[in-house]
Structure 1
Amino acid sequence: MTDIDLSELEAGAAYRLMTGVIVPRPIAWVTTTAVSGAVNLAPFSCYTMVSYAPVLVGISIGRRAEGRKDTAVNILRDGEFVLNVAHESEAALVHRSSAQVPADISEVELLGLETCPSVTTRTPRLASAPIALECRLEQVLTFDGSPSEFFIGRVALAHIDTALYRDGKIETRELKPLARIAGPNYSKVETVLEYTAEHQRW
């Protein structure tokens, strides 16, 4: 075994370590609206459910050397965002949407994607997303010395492909969500292990 004192790691090394430890990670493919009206799109794999009552989701957004990323700037200004779930077939598009472009340039247009109007937010959702969550900014958490901010959004409305929604649950096998692992690597949910309580076995 290798023992690592995390207090001795610089931020980049800690990032590389932990993104290899916490796997696979769901991807929040976030749409926001720039001040110019352009629809910005970026993926974030440090994302999770914070609460189910109320329904809150959290996304960690790091800063660049020159300041906040466009997504963070837009969320702070408008108080909203849409969290889109990416299908495994969109891996290349998700990766390309992480490229840094000027704030007034729409990654949605650059990638040839289509959007649909949202109901509770000015920001649209991706038409291709099997699930999209319209969110209102609830809170932003900061941590001493951290280059990241944790954005918590309250889910106001969920758009779900009807074929995926059964008895109040999501059919994960059919959702086929894209996940992130270490480095520029992604994974699919190819095997689902289902525990049968009646027979107490998988």
Structure 2
Amino acid sequence: MPADARYRLLASTIMPRPIAWVVTASADGIVNAAPYSFFNLFGADRPVVALGILARADRPKDTAANIRATGEFVVNLVPHALTEAMNATCVDAPPEVDETALAGLATVPSLAVRPPRIAASPVGFECRLTHLLETGPGQLLAVGEVLHAHYDRRVLAGDPERPRVDVAALDLVGRMHGASAYTRTRDLFDLHRPLWHGGQDGGAAHHKE
């Protein structure tokens, strides 16, 4: 199967996918921003995220080059209100172009890493690279430890010591099939996890709330 057909098949199967709006900086301090949907959380104690980055045909992506050079990146999450700005940073711009400026996005300094955060994003994770794996020709998996997590107070609820996310207020988007399909996290339903109570029947009548 040709590589492009294989990509379309797989990307249209593993979905919806969360989007990491990744900000990096080159060794010279030039800021880059781009969204990646090969992304997820892979641990909470310590917090770890991972990005899958595919190369262009002609040169490495700026995100990959910057992470390799500096070992730092910031993951911003994408609410529906920022989808147009996110899409603007998808442009295949030269390395010297700052996509945050191109998209009219304000940034704020990070606490522990050089790349800034996107000010309007409700959640930002400052990350330090722990592993960079070549998973195939032109394929990289960047694993990062979350050093600082920033949450807009408007998307949090409950006890400040044990906050929960107001999912409706967060209003994140995810990546779907094809070149341009996205989804919102609005169509929800609940399934309560069963608790094992033993016995030969394998019954699991009680549910964990």
Q: What residue in structure 2 maps to residue 148 of structure 1?
A: 139
4+ long deviations beyond 6 Å: 197-200
Contact 1:58 1:150 in 2 (8 A): yes
Task: Report the Cα offset of residue 196 of structure 1.
Answer: 5.7
1:193 aligns with 2:189: yes
* Secondary structure in 2 matching 1:30: strand
For 2:24, the aligned partner's letter is T
* Secondary structure in 2 matching 1:67: coil
- TM-score, normalising length from structure 1? 0.88
Contact 1:34 1:104 in 2 (8 A): no
* Secondary structure in 2 matching 1:13: helix
Contact 1:63 1:147 in 2 (8 A): yes
Uncovered stretches (5+) of structure 1, i.e. residues with no partner:
1-8
Contact 1:36 1:104 in 2 (8 A): no
- The counterpart of 2:148, out of the listed 133, 136, 157, is 157
Counterpart-to-counterpart distance in 2, 1:14 and 1:147:
15
Task: Report the Cα offset of residue 135 of structure 1.
Answer: 0.1
Q: Which has the larger radius of gyration?
A: 2
Contact 1:30 1:44 in 2 (8 A): yes
Contact 1:173 1:192 in 2 (8 A): no
Aligned alpha-carbon RMSD (Å): 2.0
Task: Report the Cα offset of residue 121 of structure 1.
Answer: 0.6
For 1:185, the aligned partner's letter is A
Higher relative contact order by CA 8 Å / sep ≥ 6: 1 or 2? 1
Q: What residue in structure 2 maps to residue 76 of structure 1?
A: 68
Q: What residue in structure 2 maps to residue 16 of structure 1?
A: 8
Counterpart-to-counterpart distance in 2, 1:193 and 1:130:
24
Task: Report the Cα offset of residue 133 of structure 1.
Answer: 0.1
- After superposition, the C-alpha distances for 1:145-200 in whole angstroms (9 at most, x for unaligned) are 44311000100000001122233322212110111101211111122223467996
* Secondary structure in 1 matching 2:188: coil
Counterpart-to-counterpart distance in 1, 2:68 and 2:109:
21
Q: What residue in structure 1 maps to residue 165 of structure 2?
A: 170
Q: What residue in structure 2 maps to residue 56 of structure 1?
A: 48
- The counterpart of 2:113, out of the listed 103, 121, 125, is 121
For 2:96, the aligned partner's letter is D
Q: What residue in structure 2 maps to residue 136 of structure 1?
A: 128
Task: Report the Cα offset of residue 36 of structure 1.
Answer: 3.8
Counterpart-to-counterpart distance in 1, 2:170 and 2:79:
7
- After superposition, the C-alpha distances for 1:98-140 in whole angstroms (9 at most, x for unaligned) are 1111111100001110001100111110000000000000101
Task: Report the Cα offset of residue 93 of structure 1.
Answer: 1.8
Task: Report the Cα offset of residue 39 of structure 1.
Answer: 1.5
- The counterpart of 2:177, out of the listed 140, 158, 182, is 182
For 1:116, the aligned partner's letter is V
Counterpart-to-counterpart distance in 2, 1:173 and 1:13:
35
Counterpart-to-counterpart distance in 2, 1:33 and 1:79:
10
Uncovered stretches (5+) of structure 2, i.e. residues with no partner:
195-205
* Secondary structure in 1 matching 2:92: coil
